[in-house]
Amino acid sequence: MEGSEQVNEISVRVRRRTPGRGRLLAGVLTVATVIASLAVTTLARAEPSGPPGTTLKAAAERSGRYFGAAMGRDRLSDTGFLAIANREFDMMTAVNEMKPDATQPNRGQFDFRAGDAIYNWAVQRGMRVRGHTLAWHAQQPRFWATLSGGALRTAMIDHINGVMTHYRGKLAAWDVVNEAFAENGSRRSSNLQSTGNDWIEVAFRTARNADPSVKLCYNDYNIENWTYAKTQGVYNMIRDFKARGVPIDCVGLQTHFTGGSSLPGNFQTTLSSFAALGVDVALTEADVTNASASQYQGLTQACMNVPRCIGITTWGIRDSDSWRGNENPLLFDRNSNPKAAYTSVLNALNAASTTVPGTTPSSPGPSSSTPPASEPSGPCTATYRMTNSWGGGFQGEVIVTNTGSGTRNGWTVTLTLPGGQTLVNVWNAVNTGTSGTVTFRNAAHNGSLGANASTSFGFVANGSGGTAPGNLGCTSP
């Protein structure tokens, strides 16, 4: 039943895709957009070089981006799915297993077994994981239905704290709030909205405190068309949050071009306009009716043209994995064969003309990832802990704390990995080297630390994590 409700919801929004808005507003938006696009264009860097990638993840990594997929726990026993996931993708999202009803089935009783199973499978293969989602009008813990007002607000805060504490330092991003806007650009009515208009910013502030290291995203569908009322509603909220210092790092555009909807010609404008507000953007749940190769090419190209478009996730891998399987909307068919759309995406990834600022592309990359000639010095500390391990690999976390009296802008951590340990993947920092003595510089979003403030970065490495890294040091200007 819920599945058919979802279908109806998408159909409604598709019919309203061309909103009745005045031409004047469109003109204003166009001017603003051109300015925003110019601002972002100045960040563009040299085209990545080196051989083209032959998998989605290799092609995306050339420009410092990722290529992700979504999976349910049931896919953990699907060897066909796992083979493609392991070969092609470097980011994973749980389809349902990290949602509020899954992670807190009863008040105060958290259950991370399903989410952890997906998380562990992914990180053990060098992937990162996006957290989806913490506060949403759907798939809520059943007991939330008995609450309202302050009690529901408290329950939301408790949920965010409980889940984020479990995944602290482990995830690339959290969709903190999902689908909170209506098609007309106002807030969607929901029990959470009824607790007060500030529920979204409370969710983000709570999230930042719970895990200062993870990127905090607002995620929604039907915000791909720049002139659409809902897009503008979300844009205005993000602009307001940035102006008032509400912590937010990214916007996820679900990119469901399905159920009759299609790629808008102004998609890149939407991405660059959000990015110009100072947030990363990501395509978080892409699928396209009948896997139109031209639409997949276009959505990928739009992302590649915007430096702060950090990655693309498809909502499943094969058509048989899709929530809308009858539309065959994914890059692989039911026999696991890549479609024409796969090739169009791969080519667009390989042809990326921008790189993500602050990342280390897999080929010789932008000047921003080059370490400074002389290292800054100053008071900060670095503390290491192993957060996970498995046969042949482990995951580590380093907490960086500003021990000085003022704000520090930028930090550098050095450590020596014991023999046999080799870095596979690093997040929330930019590394130089993958074995022996390795240097980690802050990423673009976590370099500024107030007095006594902390941040963290993480990595996955091959080898036994039994021996901790040595010579741990931290410097800051």
Residue 297, judged by CB atoms within 10 A of its CB (0-12, 13-18, 19+), counts as: buried
Contact predicate 330/292, CB 8 Å: no
Told to check if 43 binds ligand G3I by CB under 6 A, we report: no
Question: What string marks each residue from 297 to 336 as x (binds ligand G3I by CB under 6 A) or -?
Answer: --------------------------x-------------
The residue from 179, 201, 224, 397 that is catalytic is 179
Assess contact for 239 and 194: CB atoms under 8 A: no
Span 360-419, contacts to ligand G3I by CB under 6 A: none
**Contact call for residue 139 and ligand G3I (CB under 6 A):** yes
Adjacent-strand bridge partners of 440: 413, 431
Answer whether 169's CB lies under 8 Å from 221's CB: no
Of 84, 85, 95, 443, the one binding ligand G3I (CB under 6 A) is 95
- Compute the least distance from the CB of residue 459 to ligand G3I, in Å: 28
CB of 362 to ligand G3I, least distance (A): 30
Residue 191 is a binding residue for ligand G3I (CB under 6 A): no
Residues 97, 201, 285, 397: which is the catalytic one? Answer: 285
Determine the interface stretch with ligand G3I among 2-10, 344-352, 364-372, 378-386 (rule: CB under 6 A): 2-10
Q: Which is nearer to ligand G3I, 41 or 96 (CB)?
A: 96
Spatial separation of the C-alpha atoms in residues 318 and 332, rounded to whole Å: 4
Directed axis angle between helix 149-166 and helix 199-210, to 10°? Answer: 30
Decide: residue 162, CB within 10 A, 0-12 exposed, 13-18 middle, 19+ buried: middle
- Minimum distance, C-beta of residue 320 to ligand G3I, in the bound complex (Å): 13
Cα 53 to Cα 406: distance, rounded to the nearest angstrom: 44
Which of 50, 52, 45, 48 is closest to 63 using CA atoms? 48
Among 32, 44, 76, 138, binds ligand G3I (CB under 6 A): 138
Closest of 182, 183, 179, 187 to residue 217, by C-alpha: 179
Q: Which is nearer to ligand G3I, 128 or 256 (CB)?
A: 256
Interaction of residue 77 with ligand G3I, rule CB under 6 A: no
Give the whole-angstrom CA distance, residue 94 versus residue 117.
Answer: 10
Binder to ligand G3I among 30, 41, 86, 96 (CB under 6 A)?
96
Q: Is the dihedral of CA 166, 167, 169, 173 positive or negative?
A: negative
Q: How many other β-carbons are positioned within 10 Å of the β-carbon of residue 7? A: 14
Min separation Cβ 234 and ligand G3I, Å? 14
Q: Which residue is nearest to ligand G3I (CB)?
A: 2
| CA-based R_g, the chain, Å | 21
Q: Is the dihedral of CA 313, 317, 321, 325 positive or negative?
A: positive
2 vs 79, which CB is nearer to ligand G3I? 2
Task: Give yes or no for residue 254 binding ligand G3I (CB under 6 A).
Answer: yes
Tokens of 386: 């192993």
CA distances in angstroms from 281 to 39, 194, 251, 309, 468, listed in the order given = 15, 28, 5, 5, 35
Asked if 3 is part of the footprint of ligand G3I (rule: CB under 6 A), the reply reads yes
Nearer to ligand G3I, 75 or 339 (CB): 75
Q: How far is the CB of 254 from ligand G3I (least distance, A)?
A: 5
Question: In the annotation, is 285 catalytic?
Answer: yes
222 binds ligand G3I (CB under 6 A): no
> Could you tell me the smallest distance in angstroms from the CB atom of residue 178 to ligand G3I?
6
Between 65 and 132, CB nearer to ligand G3I: 132
Q: Of all residues in the chain, what percent are helix, strand and coil, respectively (each to 5)?
A: 35, 25, 40
Smallest gap from residue 72 Cβ to ligand G3I (A): 6
Q: Which is nearer to ligand G3I, 92 or 449 (CB)?
A: 92
Q: According to the binding rule CB under 6 A, does residue 285 interact with ligand G3I? A: yes
Residues carrying an active site annotation: 179, 285
Residues that bind ligand G3I (CB under 6 A): 2-3, 6, 95-96, 138-139, 221, 254, 285, 323
